[in-house]
Chains A and B, each alone.
Chain A
């Protein structure tokens, strides 16, 4: 009984919503015909850096940065060109080539590689190439002493190219290509410090967990091809309303599984914290600003599927809500600065997922929060990198303290990012999170309250991080000499900090919402139970409570240099990532290992036996035949004659028979 009530309470009503818009791209012309360059530049950079080898060691990082900067310029020009077009005309397609075509039952399935540039992908292009270029610049300084810096930039370029393929594709096949490409780049970069076993293990873990999500992607792709006979967004969006809801629900859930893997959402969240083993610029670019948001992109892009699959949409809301609390709780207990930020990333993406699951009302806010989060989280990750850079790669916040004087620029920029994420009024995060909570409350009070609590917890763990790192007593060892990072690292910090502050302008006059309307449809104004101002004040109060709590629990007390062990059950659970790994181990890994062992035995005895037997038969017959190839012309001539007879007989027998 209670279960049904809860389900009913959670079921987000989209009745009366308008049909999702059909994707109808016009041919690219003018400046937009250069669109392919956006992908080609970093792809070329990756190819040169990875193939040229050590010859390019001395200039590789510069080339890698230049290609992404060039890509950003093209994105900017394209964006301006798109601004100049009429609202109904802002969807532009560029057909690159047809990979192959298959005729099937009188239908032609065409595997095209084509680009779709519309308001949604335009924003992603700017985010990926813009933040990407800044992080490239930062990495010049951060990786200066690493002998494998050129390879690092090659992988980064590869990532950018793959990510751009993901967001620029005009269909699920190209999206999948980019999806796997970013997965590969992420794997390579998490394990970049391959001499560390923990990094290698983390890379493997990310790869394996993502594979689970990718199974969802592949199955969704197959189901889409079987249902629609096409993979292009245009074709699917035009036909989605004629397809049965059951099929769309199945596709929706499979896409959600894929999104969970890539975006580290519960239940596939476990890899993200370990992924912090990668170099910090990677954490900033891939595991905060761009790649992990691909799941949100997928859901928003597939609005024409989710709008017609109500149950799958509810699934998205549930996943988002659970994850936003899950990540926030983990963030509260971690002492590793990067892991706090990783937990926070998980939680913030939960907000985006939640918004995306709310349908037309939420899509624009999901993307809005995605953009502002891209700014402030990249800013803070790079700031964390800057701190580590000055602290001999120490990540434990219990060994920090009072760093605001030693690294003033890092502190100032980090503080701006901090104010943005907790939602300090006026900062970018305030606007974006506020809108999500508002919409959630309007649509369904259960998730709305959860999102509100999440905001408070966010304020708590971020304040804790700030206090432990920059305030209080100095707790670092004597041989550590904290210092400010070079300009090449602080300049990107300053730019990103500025964006974290002013990112909120995107929503001025509902600009972003109107901008995305051609892609996600027009949202109907929602009815709030209380005036907007009340909600805003409530959020601000909850945030203030979170900050105050952190001040009393952390700021006012001595922080021990080693983590205390006599802590509550909750803290222990949060330190253990809420037992996510334990669940995976107990539910999947151990039975999986048993299954593997069983299958291994089966494979060894039965399958291998068959294979070896077959191979042996082939080998034996090969040796037998081989004897006929004895080198004598006379036997060859004889075989020719026999062949002639065979051919003759074959022809005659057919006629007689």
Chain B
């Protein structure tokens, strides 16, 4: 009984209640797997996940309404768990967004009509592809219901990730969100080898990038002598001139984060993984991971490394330009709709990075200008719903081999199913940033934010690349409406109400935010700044 006396950390449970709800439900989900009879598992898991996520959303809203003002009133919230988690306006905004997007993803996960009564996940993930065990699993109609607790863990990890206020929590959260995703990627019912290959690639490259990330943490700790963002910020503001230890640390930590957002040149995994993973997982990953990773990136760079902005800004410029160019240009020659959307998501990451270098201090802004945080958060809302909706549409365009992801199979879809083609066209126009869709306002927000910080060359590249990107989005529309179907042509399966809801919500958000973006922009403005 010797050694230092243990002091219990002070925890404001009320503030982190949304996290507790999600993680708690995930643990309960594991127990359901162990104890509930097989035929009850799926409905119980669906109900549990959906209830947990929506409850967490309500709790998030309540927490958000009761945040205390701090300092000069530009930030609200508190840092809890001994400085590990910051619950502030941006955290609440992005938590809410992640929870809404993941609730919609649960609906996609639970869709069973499209595969003829089973989910899109492998019946028994452990059965090797092409063996008797696999055939038996599928003839018995087995379901791998663990996907739901896995997903809840990932959501919890994402929420923790974007609210982390020290480097260690950041790293732990990164792993919590990544590990379930690696697994989920490998669970496709069809094209299992492709799916497993994607999972393994994602895992190996993710592990590799985590290595850089941890190394970076070590360097920054060596420089600042603390893991805490506020302490790091103090250390940076006291320095004279550059310091190799700090700069090396920033560089390596950014590698880990930029890998997660899928920025070039750390994007190589994105197309392969997006294509191989079950489309529902791709939708979830594309929408939610990006929100979480950008939340974490912004907090880390603004709060901890804010004092070294002159040092890291050129690096972000280079990465942003590379990302926009690689995403837009490579999307031009894609022949698979999922890969095309993957490159499109890379390009979007580049556009968000443009907003990232905008003016961040509210005091620096003129009347009517947006801070970069507001712009990025708004963009994430528009991007999240468009992406989710677009991937949901991909799940309903099918042929005998499952989803018809090859673009040539989409020719003539406008005649086959005007409704589905029309909705998809709206998503594509939104991604291209055509006025009266949310994508236009999103692009306008990040570009104008960057412009107000004087980053006009970035904006020029951004606009040029938007034009390139518009080419391949419009090409798909042309394909759907003005080309004759090849062979039998595509067929559109009628999904259950679950997928229909997701598509409808995505569509409504894309159109509504294009016409009435005010309320969401106001909400983003009300979120204020990060607390320090």
Any A CB within 8 A of the CB of B333: yes
Instruction: Point out the residues of chain B lying under 8 angstroms from A562, CB to CB.
Output: none
Contact A97 B516 (CB under 8 A): yes
Contact B315 A651 (CB under 8 A): yes
Could you tell me the distance between the alpha carbons of A366 and B405 in the complex, rounded to whole angstroms?
A: 62
Instruction: Point out the residues of chain B lying under 8 angstroms from A109, CB to CB.
Output: 368
CB nearest to B215 among chain A residues: A644
Could you tell me the distance between the alpha carbons of A244 and B326 in the complex, rounded to whole angstroms?
A: 51
Contact A640 B204 (CB under 8 A): no
Contact B251 A651 (CB under 8 A): yes
Any B CB within 8 A of the CB of A579: no
Any B CB within 8 A of the CB of A601: no
Question: B366 is contacted by which of A106, A623, A646, A648 (Cβ under 8 Å)?
Answer: A106
CB A100 to nearest CB in B, in angstroms, measures 6
Main secondary structure of the interface of A (DSSP, over half): helix
Could you tell me the distance between the alpha carbons of A640 and B270 in the complex, rounded to whole angstroms?
A: 12
Any B CB within 8 A of the CB of A588: no
Contact B310 A640 (CB under 8 A): no
Any B CB within 8 A of the CB of A610: no
Contact B265 A646 (CB under 8 A): yes
Given A97-B516, A615-B471, A625-B329, verify A654-B368 contact (CB < 8 Å): no
Could you tell me the distance between the alpha carbons of A646 and B326 in the complex, rounded to whole angstroms?
A: 16
Contact A648 B251 (CB under 8 A): yes
Contact B252 A651 (CB under 8 A): no
Main secondary structure of the interface of B (DSSP, over half): helix
Given A644-B212, A646-B265, verify A622-B332 contact (CB < 8 Å): yes
Find residues 266-305 in chain B having any chain A CB closer than 8 Å to their own CB: 266, 268-269, 271-272
Instruction: Point out the residues of chain A lying under 8 angstroms from B271, CB to CB.
Output: 629
Any A CB within 8 A of the CB of B205: yes
Contact B268 A625 (CB under 8 A): no
Contact B315 A618 (CB under 8 A): no
CB nearest to B440 among chain A residues: A100
CB A178 to nearest CB in B, in angstroms, measures 15
Find residues 615-657 in chain A having any chain B CB closer than 8 Å to their own CB: 615, 618-619, 621-623, 625-626, 628-629, 631, 633, 635-637, 639-640, 642-644, 646-648, 650-652, 654-656
Instruction: Point out the residues of chain B lying under 8 angstroms from A625, CB to CB.
Output: 326, 329-330
Any A CB within 8 A of the CB of B318: yes
Any B CB within 8 A of the CB of A108: yes
Find residues 146-171 in chain A having any chain B CB closer than 8 Å to their own CB: none
Could you tell me the distance between the alpha carbons of A643 and B268 in the complex, rounded to whole angstroms?
A: 11
Instruction: Point out the residues of chain B lying under 8 angstroms from A623, CB to CB.
Output: 333
Instruction: Point out the residues of chain B lying under 8 angstroms from A97, CB to CB.
Output: 516, 518-519
Instruction: Point out the residues of chain B lying under 8 angstroms from A647, CB to CB.
Output: 251, 254-255, 258, 315, 319
Any A CB within 8 A of the CB of B242: yes
Any A CB within 8 A of the CB of B209: yes
Find residues 165-220 in chain B having any chain A CB closer than 8 Å to their own CB: 200-201, 204-205, 208-209, 212
Any A CB within 8 A of the CB of B312: yes
Contact A622 B204 (CB under 8 A): no
Could you tell me the distance between the alpha carbons of A654 and B471 in the complex, rounded to whole angstroms?
A: 35
Among A107, A108, A647, A655, the one with the most B-chain Cβ atoms within 10 Å of its Cβ is A647
CB nearest to B317 among chain A residues: A650
Any A CB within 8 A of the CB of B453: no
Instruction: Point out the residues of chain B lying under 8 angstroms from A631, CB to CB.
Output: 272
Q: How many pairs of residues, A versus B, come closer than 8 Å at their CB atoms? A: 124
- Binary flags per residue of B216-250, CB closer than 8 Å to A gives 1, else 0: 00000000000000000000000001101001101
Question: A651 is contacted by which of B208, B250, B268, B471 (Cβ under 8 Å)?
Answer: B250
Contact A637 B204 (CB under 8 A): yes
Any B CB within 8 A of the CB of A86: no
Could you tell me the distance between the alpha carbons of A101 and B521 in the complex, rounded to whole angstroms?
A: 10
Could you tell me the distance between the alpha carbons of A225 and B471 in the complex, rounded to whole angstroms?
A: 32
Any B CB within 8 A of the CB of A99: yes
Instruction: Point out the residues of chain A lying under 8 angstroms from B258, CB to CB.
Output: 643, 647
Any A CB within 8 A of the CB of B517: yes
Any B CB within 8 A of the CB of A508: no
Question: A636 is contacted by which of B205, B312, B452 (Cβ under 8 Å)?
Answer: B205
CB A617 to nearest CB in B, in angstroms, measures 10
Contact B205 A643 (CB under 8 A): no
Contact B242 A656 (CB under 8 A): yes
Any A CB within 8 A of the CB of B498: no
Any B CB within 8 A of the CB of A102: yes
Contact B255 A650 (CB under 8 A): no
Find residues 411-449 in chain B having any chain A CB closer than 8 Å to their own CB: 441, 444, 448
Instruction: Point out the residues of chain B lying under 8 angstroms from A103, CB to CB.
Output: 365-369, 452
Contact B314 A650 (CB under 8 A): yes
Any B CB within 8 A of the CB of A8: no
Contact A99 B329 (CB under 8 A): no
CB A104 to nearest CB in B, in angstroms, measures 8
Among A103, A109, A626, A650, the one with the most B-chain Cβ atoms within 10 Å of its Cβ is A650
- Binary flags per residue of A81-100, CB closer than 8 Å to B gives 1, else 0: 00000000000000001111
Contact B330 A640 (CB under 8 A): no
Question: B329 is contacted by which of A621, A643, A651 (Cβ under 8 Å)?
Answer: A621
Contact B311 A651 (CB under 8 A): yes
Instruction: Point out the residues of chain B lying under 8 angstroms from A637, CB to CB.
Output: 204-205, 208
Contact B315 A640 (CB under 8 A): no
Question: A622 is contacted by which of B268, B272, B333, B444 (Cβ under 8 Å)?
Answer: B333
14 A-B residue pairs with Cβ-Cβ distance under 8 Å, sorted by A, are A100-B518, A102-B448, A103-B365, A108-B368, A618-B468, A619-B333, A631-B272, A633-B205, A640-B259, A646-B265, A647-B258, A648-B248, A651-B248, A652-B242
10 smallest beta-carbon distances between A and B, as pairs? A103-B368, A655-B242, A643-B265, A108-B368, A636-B268, A650-B315, A648-B251, A622-B333, A103-B369, A622-B332
16 further A-B pairs in the complex, CB-CB below 8 A; given A99-B516, A102-B368, A644-B252: A97-B516, A100-B518, A106-B366, A618-B329, A622-B329, A622-B332, A625-B326, A633-B201, A636-B269, A637-B204, A640-B268, A647-B315, A648-B251, A648-B252, A650-B318, A654-B315
